[in-house]
A and B are shown apart, each in its own frame.
Chain A
Amino acid sequence: MRKYIVRRVFELVLVLFVVSIFAFFLIRLAPGDPAVVLAGEHATEEILQEIREKWGLDKPLIVQYFIWLNSALKGDFGRSVRTGDSVLKEIFYRFPNTFELSLFAMIIATVVGVFAGVISAVRRKSFWDYLTMTMALFGVSMPVFWLGIMLMLIFGIWLHILPISGRMDVYISVNRITNFLLIDSLITGNLEAFFNILKHLVLPGIALATIPMAFIARITRSSMLDVMSKDYVRTAKAKGLSEKSVILRHAFRNALIPIVTSVGTQFALLLAGAILTETVFAWPGLGRYIVGAVSARDYPVVQGSIIFVAFLVAIVNLFVDILYAYIDPRIRY
């Protein structure tokens, strides 16, 4: 197993390197001059030239790439062209917001999705089956921003039991240690903040969870159906085991691999930043930040963010692969 992990880490480095090349050159293919974005529309050519020199934008692309790579390898991803802040610092400031939201959404999506998928498979072609699969279709088709506003209207305005937008109420203050606010509020014993933050997580979490929930439900259903037609399940039933035991112990565990894959993929996608949800719910996350950086041609931020997201996705995939070994003893690395 250890050798496997080491091998995967090497692959990760290679992948990040290739991603960095893409990230670097692709954003520069987009028309638009970061100097103009920085200096405003009325800047004179002199000011633009000054800015280009200061940020090294006037050097040949290959040279710019290696300068950037050189710093990146030392952990310095440069400074945001717009705000002047260190790119890594900005990413780490916002990433916990996205992570908490994504994790919350994934928990909802996984619990509900798996539950619905299992029941659908077991009660195949029943009313419940059709209901869940139709809802799964809705979940995937409904635009998130519309759903978000609907949730706000229902729970925030009509029923008035949940907040409408934002990470937490403005009068709440949390001492930031890890920047993961749920953890920080617990560590500092700030229970009021903890529950306030949790409250604000509910609506965006639900909105965000609808798509992964739909995917997970469908995969669970099809995987379970596949497993339930297998001989060992028939044997278990023939042995006289209770239905619950057959489903949970024999069928479900063997159906897990595709489900875990799906959960992992969906989670990685969410971590990349749920831009629409973050915009609608005024959630200060990474997705919104990256989109803003692309619009502003903030090259260092875009590059650093893409590498960071690629890294996250690779880590999640690695984690999922290792999990396989625990689920299925036949898989050995």
Chain B
Amino acid sequence: MKHFKRSTITVVILMLLVTLVGITGFTACKPKEKKPVVLTFAKAGDAVKLDPADVTDGESITVMDNIFEGLVKYKPGTTEIEPCLATSWDISEDGRVFTFHLRKDVKFHDGTDFNADAVVFSLERQRDPNHPFHKYGEWAYWGWVFGAVEKTEKVDDYTVKITLKEKFAPFLTTMAMFTAFIVSPTSAEKWGEEWYAHPVGTGPFKFVEWIKDDHITLEKFDDYWGEKPKIDKLIFKVIPDASVRLLELQQGNVQGMEFPNPDDLEKIKSDPNLKLLSQPGLNIGYLAMNMGEDTPGYDPHFGDVRVRRAVSYAINKKDIVKHLYKGTAVPAKNPLPPTLWGYNDEIEDYEYNPEKAKELLTEAGYPDGFETNLWAMPVARPYMFDPQKIAEAIQADLEKVGIKAKIVSYDWGTYLQKTEAGEHAMCLLGWTMDYPDPDNILYVLLDKDAATVGSAGNVAFYRNDKVHELNMKAKKTYDRKEREKYYKEIQEIIHEDAPWVCLAHANQMVVFRNNVKGFKLYPTGDYHFDTTYIEEEGN
């Protein structure tokens, strides 16, 4: 062991020198092979699965938006429906049968033909427990969104008939959702259980590789039936920390990113190389007041509409949005977001007026206020950036009018369970829409049907018969103008009854380098890169 130390040190130093030379050497001659146009987009998290019918999370969906397509799709940047894999459709007299005429000469990425068999396969595997592929997934969204579908049948190679159990007005809109994306049956059969890692669709980009937790690579699909994408390679890179995402974007190592830190927004806006795309998303963050007398958490104070209106006047919404959301949201006056059709812009919101609040409380018999509880979730949600801070702000606002609210918190999963069981007097909650139809908020969250104790989507346990009647009417007609009328009336009633204080609609934000053009924000939160192109940059 005599010369052990000396020779080891020499070896180590030599290795370090070689490494240094190697690193610098290969840095110097880094190949500038930028001939193929590559767009790298930085995401906050990796996809969970790449089977569009078997996921519920945005990170998976935004990747698959580029690989798959549905029978219909959203007009770029909107919530309007237009033909996609179906060129036209007929609706039966009773509104229960939809006949879709499919586009011809469309190929899947594996070369097989798109036809009625593929549509039937994609939908029936989710619905039919006896379908051979049913066991390969959870199909979480099927029951929830497509519960009205009775059966999907092939009429001929390019015609598909979908029968509904009953008229369901949002149906066509839901067919643009990721759950109804059409997958290649050939490749599903080939991969069986592993299919979710080998996605094959008809979209403008085809799947190349998935390095877990690191990146997903897609390539332009040369046989795409529509307008070919102007990017050759689309790479979704996972960078969990928002500050690091921004650093990489500023360096030019990635050309786009999602979910910037609110604290970085000023920096982004003043950076001449970057551009921020932002608009209110299809979501709502709200404070619900429990009106369910049959629930364990019911506080009788909130049974009085004057108290609820008092709370609405007491909360300084604008300040909360400005300081706690830090410019990443717009204040809400309705449960529906302004980017959705049916939004009632005529409604005048309860302005911040603590004096009026105290008046109403005195009128209701509580001149000195009262004690109650305010539930807040411990995790950031897409519609509510910092629920704990927001709860504290609300608590302070309520204190000023005499209402002393104790803040209660539980682990997110538990929070959901307990609020669904009505254990709260007031709670913060929110919703990101599944599909762009007012039914998804006004029925799902505010109808008496959704106020079942133990599994309530309607955590205000707000049971209004007139609202229910209007919701039912709106579900059963396909006439858009008529539906808009009903939904606008519902929003007026809700405004009067004040079961919620509507707080804010969070913005969806993405940041791109200035030379990335043509990207449109879809209100649904989907990322479509088919129209995106990159201009020459002096970089």
Measured CB to CB, the residues of A under 8 A from B are 30-33, 36-47, 50-51, 54, 82-85, 90, 93-94, 111, 145, 149, 152-153, 156-157, 161, 163-167, 170-171, 191-192, 194-196, 198-199, 248-249, 252-253, 279-282, 284-285, 288-289, 297
Task: Decide: B144 and A44 in contact? CB cutoff 8 A.
Answer: yes
Q: Beyond A94-B212, A152-B244, A165-B248, is A39–B56 a contact (Cβ under 8 Å)?
A: yes
Question: Which residues of B have CB within 8 Å of A45?
Answer: 455
Q: In the complex, what distance in Å separates the CA atom of A9 from the CA atom of B212?
A: 33
Question: Which residues of A have CB within 8 Å of B33?
Answer: 171
B456 to nearest A CB, angstroms? 12
Pick the contact of A279: B19, B237, B241, B444 (CB < 8 A). B241
Measured CB to CB, the residues of B under 8 A from A are 1-2, 5, 12, 19, 22-23, 25-27, 31, 33, 38, 40, 48-49, 56, 138, 140-141, 143-144, 193, 196-197, 211-215, 217, 235, 237-241, 243-244, 247-248, 250-251, 253, 410-414, 416-417, 434, 444, 455, 457
Task: Decide: B244 and A165 in contact? CB cutoff 8 A.
Answer: yes
Task: Decide: B140 and A284 in contact? CB cutoff 8 A.
Answer: no
Question: Which residues of A have CB within 8 Å of B23?
Answer: 195, 198-199
Q: Beyond A31-B410, A164-B251, is A288–B213 a contact (Cβ under 8 Å)?
A: yes
Task: Decide: A157 and B244 in contact? CB cutoff 8 A.
Answer: no
Pick the contact of B138: A39, A153, A253 (CB < 8 A). A39
B252 to nearest A CB, angstroms? 11
Question: Which residues of A have CB within 8 Å of B143?
Answer: 43-44, 46-47
Residue of B nearest to A41 (CB): B416
Q: In the complex, what distance in Å separates the CA atom of A94 from the CA atom of B138?
A: 25
Task: Decide: A145 and B144 in contact? CB cutoff 8 A.
Answer: no
Q: In the complex, what distance in Å separates the CA atom of A280 from the CA atom of B247?
A: 11
Q: Beyond A51-B138, A84-B49, is A166–B413 a contact (Cβ under 8 Å)?
A: no
Task: Decide: A32 and B414 in contact? CB cutoff 8 A.
Answer: yes
Q: In the complex, what distance in Å separates the CA atom of A248 from the CA atom of B248?
A: 45
A269 to nearest B CB, angstroms? 21
Q: In the complex, what distance in Å separates the CA atom of A67 from the CA atom of B518?
A: 54
Other A-B pairs, 4, CB within 8 Å; known A39-B56, A83-B196, A284-B238: A31-B413, A83-B48, A90-B212, A153-B247
Task: Decide: B235 and A33 in contact? CB cutoff 8 A.
Answer: no
Q: In the complex, what distance in Å separates the CA atom of A93 from the CA atom of B19?
A: 26
Q: Beyond A164-B247, A170-B40, is A44–B455 a contact (Cβ under 8 Å)?
A: yes
**What are 19 A-B residue pairs whose CB atoms fall within 8 Å in the complex?**
A32-B412, A32-B413, A39-B138, A40-B56, A42-B434, A82-B48, A83-B196, A149-B247, A157-B250, A157-B251, A165-B244, A171-B33, A194-B22, A195-B23, A195-B25, A279-B241, A282-B237, A282-B240, A289-B213
Q: Beyond A44-B144, A93-B212, is A288–B138 a contact (Cβ under 8 Å)?
A: no
Task: Decide: B212 and A149 in contact? CB cutoff 8 A.
Answer: no
Question: Which residues of A have CB within 8 Å of B12?
Answer: 111
Q: In the complex, what distance in Å separates the CA atom of A281 from the CA atom of B533?
A: 28
Pick the contact of A166: B27, B193, B239, B250 (CB < 8 A). B239
A52 to nearest B CB, angstroms? 11
Task: Decide: B457 and A149 in contact? CB cutoff 8 A.
Answer: no
B221 to nearest A CB, angstroms? 19
Question: Which residues of B have CB within 8 Å of A248?
Answer: 5
Q: In the complex, what distance in Å separates the CA atom of A324 from the CA atom of B257?
A: 51
Residue of A nearest to B15 (CB): A107
Question: Which residues of A have CB within 8 Å of B212?
Answer: 90, 93-94, 284
Q: In the complex, what distance in Å separates the CA atom of A30 from the CA atom of B412?
A: 11
A146 to nearest B CB, angstroms? 10
Q: In the complex, what distance in Å separates the CA atom of A90 from the CA atom of B212?
A: 9
Question: Which residues of A have CB within 8 Å of B22?
Answer: 191, 194-195, 198
Residue of A nearest to B429 (CB): A41
Task: Decide: B217 and A170 in contact? CB cutoff 8 A.
Answer: yes
Q: In the complex, what distance in Å separates the CA atom of A192 from the CA atom of B30?
A: 9
Question: Which residues of A have CB within 8 Å of B215?
Answer: 170
Residue of A nearest to B137 (CB): A84
Question: Which residues of B have CB within 8 Å of A152?
Answer: 244, 247
A321 to nearest B CB, angstroms? 20
Task: Decide: B413 and A43 in contact? CB cutoff 8 A.
Answer: no
Question: Which residues of A have CB within 8 Å of B38?
Answer: 170-171
Pick the contact of A40: B49, B140, B214, B241 (CB < 8 A). B140
